[in-house]
Amino acid sequence: MSVFYRTVMPCNGGVNSFRKPHLLNDNEWVTLTQMRSRGGSIVNFPGWKRLFAGANVNSFGTLIAEYVQNDSTTFLLFGGSGKIYLFNSVTQTITDISGGLVFGATRDEPWTWMVYNDQLYLMNKQDGMCKFNGIGNIQQIALTPRARSINVLNNHICVLNVVNDPAIMANPGGPTTFMWAAEASDIAWLVTPNTTTDQGQFDLSFTPDIGMALNPLGIDLIAYKEDSLVDIAFVGGNEVFGIRNEIDGFGIVSPYGSVAVETGHLNMGQDRFWGYQGGVQVDDEIGLPIRANVFNNLHPTLRTRVRSAYISATHEALFMYPSLAAVTDPDTCVIYNDEEKLWYGPFPIDCSMALGAERRKTSFTVPEGIFIKSGGNIEEIDELQQADDSVNLTRVIESCDISPRAAAVAATGQIIALPMGVICQVNFVWLEIESSSGVAQLQVGYKMDLGVPIAFTPFINIDLTGKSTIQVAVPRPIGRWYRIRLTMPLSTILVLNGYQYEFAIVGMR
């Protein structure tokens, strides 16, 4: 009776493309395309479909905002290249509420928004401040700043990266200016210096990088710049606001380059992902597993168009970014699971604006994951496995390079310690699956040394339907390092709990 060995590989791991293959853990993956890692299994990431038929915001998206009033009345607004629309959940249509105005928000200077005093406030650098109270049309507020970002801190409306306008500002404004209105006001801005009022401004020019976004964190407001951050705190009196902390070298790549997750903020910077929970420390290792995959492929001139969203139900932060192949809008997505502490992706997606789902206060009648494509169509991330109304997706998972000697067990079940130089012949791959359907394609990669290109066996078709354990005979590739690649065309559903190599020892090296 011949003796064979198995190497058992669990699937509770995400993508790690940054570390060298021989340092990878057994449960890390080179590729998770349109797949996610949850609860110890690799499963499909959902597809998306048109939110409602016939609605289009014209060319590209500049805004998705959910406005929840104190009585829980909820509105969903979409911005296009010149107009703002209100979604009617009953008729499943959108209505232009621009009131005859043509707005100037662009891909590089989109709308930012917040809810304050039971009203929705909107801001961009062309149109300045607008508001909506749930009735009628958007109102443009005269003699207010024009700025890149808007938010509220301690009953004061605050803005960052301000267009210089002497009719409104006490001092010259610019890309590093932080400015605020009088308490509980949206029209009282400091036109002339005055030490007895509580509206004001100060500059954040201790570093030359420009302002990107104002995001709340705890009781403070974080002013994110291109390559730094400023923690702004309420101090009271005529001074009103002060700087609690400054951190240089860590900023965000776009006005939508930061999402609020359960532990704080997760940020996409100029060359790394990083986490911030307040204070003077940052987590600059959080994005290491995905860093090379993303930033080696990030478009150098379109990077300010990065969009993001947080799907709280699944603890997933989505970052849509323009690859080197992008023409105008983000075309690629990576995802961080804040609960599992895992990355997956990249995979293709066309997105000009995404819903900042971390700001949602109540459940709405549409899913949390919403984005606008570059053509203006509004899409929802849905449990359907297809995209764009029945367009099939191809999903791919590919493991890291693993020596079969790792975690080897004999046919009788005992753990076997095999020498480093063992040469193996893989005869079978076993797949442990559940709730799967459709046809997948299996390939086995193999090589003798880490520094050489990997070769792959031809595709082997596998019918997943109704199976729990599948034994797949492979063409007996010989090597010292192996990986598996599973391709799921035609929106095939896969739930993979683990896989095993069944191999024989054929030599030493």
> 183-205: per-residue pLDDT in tens?
999 999 987 767 777 899 999 99
On the question of pLDDT at 24 being above 60, the answer is: no
User: Where is pLDDT greater, at 311 or 383?
Assistant: 311
CATH at 490? 2.60.120
Burial of 95-126, coded b for 16+ CB within 10 Å and e otherwise, reads ebbbeebebebebebbbbbbbbeeebbbbbbe
SS (H, E, C) 124-135: ECCCEEEEECCC
Q: Is residue 50 part of a domain?
A: no
Kindly state the DSSP code that residue 290 receives in the 8-state scheme. H
| In a domain? residue 430 | yes
Domain annotation covers residue 28? yes
pLDDT of residue 361: 41
Is position 443 within any domain?
yes
Rounded to 10 degrees, the C-alpha dihedral 230/225/214/291 comes to: -110
**The total number of structural domains that make up the chain:** 1
Q: State the DSSP H helix or E strand holding residue 295, giving kind and residue range, or none if neither.
A: helix 288-295
Share of the chain residues as helix, strand and coil, in percent rounded to the nearest 5: 5, 45, 50
Q: For 31-64, how does the pLDDT look when each residue is reduced to its tens digit (9 = 90+)?
A: 999 999 888 899 999 999 888 777 799 889 999 9
- Asked if the structure places residue 13 within a domain, the reply is yes
Q: Per-residue confidence at 476, pLDDT binned at 50, 70, 90?
A: very high
CB 477, CB 444: distance < 8 Å: yes
Please check whether residue 128 lies inside any domain of the structure: no
The C-alpha atoms of residue 237 and residue 283 are separated, in whole angstroms, by 34
Q: Is the peptide bond before 346 cis (omega within 30 degrees of 0)?
A: yes
Q: Is 23 helix (H, G, I), strand (E, B) or coil?
A: helix
Q: Which amino acid is at 5?
A: Y
Whether the pLDDT of residue 480 is over 80: the answer is yes
Say whether pLDDT at 296 is over 80. Answer: yes
* Residue 357, SS3 per DSSP: helix
| Residues whose CB falls within 8 Å of the CB of residue 414, separated by 6 or more in sequence, listed in order | none
State whether the Cα torsion 238-244-250-253 is positive or negative: negative
**Share of residues in the chain with pLDDT > 70 (%):** 94
Give the torsion sign (CA, 452, 458, 460, 461): positive
Instruction: Give the pLDDT confidence of 431-445 residue by residue, as tens digits.
Output: 999 999 999 999 999
pLDDT classification of 463: cutoffs 50, 70, 90: very high
Q: How far apart are CA 289 and CA 106, in angstroms?
A: 32
Domain that holds residue 12: 5-45+395-508
DSSP category for residue 102:
-
Residue 241: CB atoms within 10 A of its CB come to 22
In a domain, 40, yes or no: yes
pTM of the model: 0.92
**Exposure string for 72-85, b = 16+ CB within 10 A, e = fewer:** eebbbbbbbbbbbb
Tens digit of pLDDT for each residue in 349-397? 999 999 754 444 444 454 568 999 999 999 988 878 999 878 999 999 9
Instruction: Provide the pLDDT for residue 358.
Output: 43
Strand partners, 319: 308, 334
Q: Answer yes or no: is 383 within a domain.
A: no
